[in-house]
Amino acid sequence: MTAEIITIGDELLIGQVINSNQAFIAERFNTVGIVTERMTTVGDSDVPVREAFAAAFARHDVVAVTGGLGPTHDDITKRLVCEFFGTDLVTDEGTLAHIKELAQRRNLPLIQSNLDQALVPRSCTVIPNRNGTAPGMLFERDGRYFAVMPGVPFEMKAMVDDWLLPFFAGRSDGLIVRHRTLKTTGIGESMLAKRIGDVSEFLGTDGSATLAFLPNPMGTKLRITVKHRDAAFVDASLARIESALRARAERYIYASDEQELEHVVGRLLNEQRRTLALAESCTGGFIAHRVTNVPGSSAYFLRGFVTYSDRAKTEDLGVPAELIARHGAVSAETAEAMAAGARRRSGADIALSCTGIAGPGGGSPEKPVGLCYIGFADAARTFALKFSFGDHRLRFKDRASQAALELLRRSLLRFDTLDG
């Protein structure tokens, strides 16, 4: 079955609210074989809502509408739904009882506008709203479905998960859609595409599988999508395509699906019972922040030094002042000395360091903005790698932290070479 999601609300059209309802519904619909083909947002006014209803229900098997069901004057959805389906409002006793019970439980006065929410279109099936007073409603016409829900995310989400998905799970027409995402880093989108080569070699030619490249400052995600009526076929295809991608780009794939790089290195450090220290200059604590976003990271992360000044590098990490004077604070030599110093001071098994020019100021022809050295020290070796991360300060931090954690991942996995 195909779907269109319609979100209604002036707050969306002025950009006051980022629309997260669409993504939620689309993701959930996917799990029961409903493929969203279009999303439309219109404001709280009659003509565009009417047009959107008609266009969507003509084109798709399922239409999901959110928004405009509250008790205030700008909530017009219920009236327009009645008009669209040629029906009128009747009191739903179950909803009325729920509204009274909710008011009592929350210690709220029962005013008329709340009681009016028990009025529902005569020809709909009520979708219960356990978290609020506005009920949802489902219409069916000739095997097609039109669902209307409030726009409040936590009310809508519970209605989708508790009621709408079980309802559709038994009715969808069998097309199964599954995704797998492989997350890469340390290679540009174009080079990755070149390495992977002709995708038709492993996607097959029956159109059931697609591959998307999704770049961002942390790396490029490869998203595999397989659509088919046979679940075993879908799983086999996903596995085959994942293998093909791994055969071509294994080195750069650090995680699958929603996992972040800090979780991957955290798991490796835990498994290998190794501890970590950090010495940061240009990233200003961002690597430590990412490492400590992982619950339980205190098991392996001992401490970090944010040595923003040269004096801090010398006093906290023991980087010789004359080394900084000779090579500069942004140099391979300083990065190495920072990592070695953090390791020595903390007693950690491994230390990473980072020194660079995040910009926008501070660059020179020899050392331009974006230049960055990542240092590494463990019992066996101390070295630094050189990078260039562009001239946007926050993107620079994203890229530098990702490169540092990726270097750690490769070292923990004992890659032959750690760069490139």
Segment interacting with its own copies (CB under 8 A) among 163-171, 242-250, 265-273, 307-315: 307-315
* Binding residues among 19-38 for its own copies as defined by CB under 8 A: 19-20, 22-30, 35-38
CB of 123 to its own copies, least distance (A): 27
CB of 86 to its own copies, least distance (A): 25
DSSP state, 339?
H
Site string for its own copies, 125-154 (x = CB under 8 A): ------x--------------------x-x
- Which residues, in sequence order, are CB contacts of 322 under 8 Å at separation 6+? none
Q: CA–CA separation, 267 vs 280, rounded Å?
A: 22
Please give the single-letter amino acid code of residue 34.
I
Terminal Cα-to-Cα distance of the chain (whole angstroms): 44
Q: CA–CA separation, 351 vs 304, rounded Å?
A: 9
- Retrieve residue 353's tokens: 């360091």
**In degrees to the nearest 10, what's the CA dihedral of 32, 34, 36, 37?**
160
**In degrees to the nearest 10, what's the CA dihedral of 21, 23, 26, 32?**
-90
Segment interacting with its own copies (CB under 8 A) among 166-174, 216-224, 234-242, 373-381: 216-224
CB of 306 to its own copies, least distance (A): 3
* Binding residues among 71-100 for its own copies as defined by CB under 8 A: 71-74
Q: CA–CA separation, 250 vs 266, rounded Å?
A: 20
* Binding residues among 41-70 for its own copies as defined by CB under 8 A: 41-44, 48, 70
Is the backbone of residue 42 left (phi > 0), alpha (psi -120 to 50) or beta?
beta
Nearest to 400 by CA among 278, 297, 243, 230: 278
Q: CA–CA separation, 69 vs 350, rounded Å?
A: 56
For residue 331, state whether it binds its own copies (rule: CB under 8 A). no
For residue 259, state whether it binds its own copies (rule: CB under 8 A). no
Q: Among residues 139 and 304, whose Cβ is nearest to its own copies? A: 304
Q: CA–CA separation, 316 vs 319, rounded Å?
A: 8
Number of chain residues interacting with its own copies (CB under 8 A): 115
Q: Among residues 124 and 156, whose Cβ is nearest to its own copies? A: 156
CB of 112 to its own copies, least distance (A): 9
Angle, helix 332-346 to helix 310-317, in steps of 10 degrees: 40
Segment interacting with its own copies (CB under 8 A) among 76-84, 135-143, 265-273, 304-312: 304-312
Exactly one of 111, 169, 231, 247 binds its own copies (CB under 8 A); which one?
111
Q: How far is CA 336 from the centre of its chain?
A: 34
CB of 18 to its own copies, least distance (A): 5
Exactly one of 128, 204, 318, 390 binds its own copies (CB under 8 A); which one?
390
CB of 49 to its own copies, least distance (A): 11
With beta carbons less than 8 A apart as the criterion, state whether 352 and 404 touch.
yes
Q: CA–CA separation, 416 vs 420, rounded Å?
A: 11
**What are residue 242's phi and psi, to 5 degrees?**
-60, -45
Exactly one of 54, 169, 191, 231 binds its own copies (CB under 8 A); which one?
191
Q: What is the 3-state secondary structure (H, E, C) of 217-243?
A: CCEEEEEEEEEECCHHHHHHHHHHHHH
Exactly one of 368, 381, 413, 415 binds its own copies (CB under 8 A); which one?
368
* Binding residues among 264-283 for its own copies as defined by CB under 8 A: 278, 280, 283
CB of 400 to its own copies, least distance (A): 12
CB of 81 to its own copies, least distance (A): 19
Q: CA–CA separation, 374 vs 383, rounded Å?
A: 9
For residue 15, state whether it binds its own copies (rule: CB under 8 A). yes
Segment interacting with its own copies (CB under 8 A) among 120-128, 136-144, 284-292, 409-417: 284-292
CB of 405 to its own copies, least distance (A): 13
For residue 208, state whether it binds its own copies (rule: CB under 8 A). no
For residue 323, state whether it binds its own copies (rule: CB under 8 A). no
Locate tokens 């219960």: which residue? 128
For residue 295, state whether it binds its own copies (rule: CB under 8 A). yes
CB of 259 to its own copies, least distance (A): 14
